[in-house]
Amino acid sequence: MSEISRTAELTRRRMLQGSVLALTAAVGTGVLAVAGPTSKSATAADLGENDRFDESYQGRRIQGRPTAHAGHHGAGVGYTVLIDGRELHMMRNVDGTWISVINHYQTFATPRALARAAVDDLQGATLVPISVA
Partner 1 sequence: MAVRKNQATLTAQEKRAFVDAVLELKRLGRYDGYVDTHNYFIVNDSDTGERVGHRSPSFLPWHRQFLLQFERDLQSIDPNVTLPYWDWTVDRAANSSIWDADFLGGSGRSGDNQVVTGPFAYGTGKWTVNVRPDSRDYLRRTLGASVSALPTRTEVETVLAMTTYDAAPWNSSSDGFRNNMEGWRGPNLHNRAHVWIGGQMNSGMSPNDPAFWLHHCFIDKLWSEWRRRNPGSGYLPVVPTANVVDLNKPMKPWNTTTPAQLLDHSALYTYDTGF
| Shortest Å, Cβ 58 to partner 1 | 15
Among 46-54, 59-67, 90-98, 108-116, which window interacts with partner 1 (CB under 8 A)?
A: 90-98
Calculate ∠ Cα 120-127-58, nearest 5°: 30
Under the binding rule (CB under 8 A), the answer on residue 105 touching partner 1 is: yes
Judged by CB under 8 A, the stretch of 24-32, 49-57, 60-68, 108-116 that binds partner 1 is: 24-32
Query: What backbone phi and psi angles, to 5 degrees, belong to 113?
Result: -65, -40
- Distance separating alpha carbons of residues 123 and 2, to the nearest angstrom: 38
- 6 scored as a contact of partner 1 (CB under 8 A): no
Please enumerate in sequence order all residues whose Cβ is within 8 A of that of 94, keeping only pairs 6 or more positions apart, or say none. Answer: 76
Dihedral in degrees, nearest 10, Cα atoms 75, 97, 121, 100: -10
Residues that bind partner 1 (CB under 8 A): 4, 7-8, 11-12, 14-19, 21-23, 25-27, 29, 34-38, 72-76, 89, 91-95, 101-107, 121-123, 125-128, 130-133
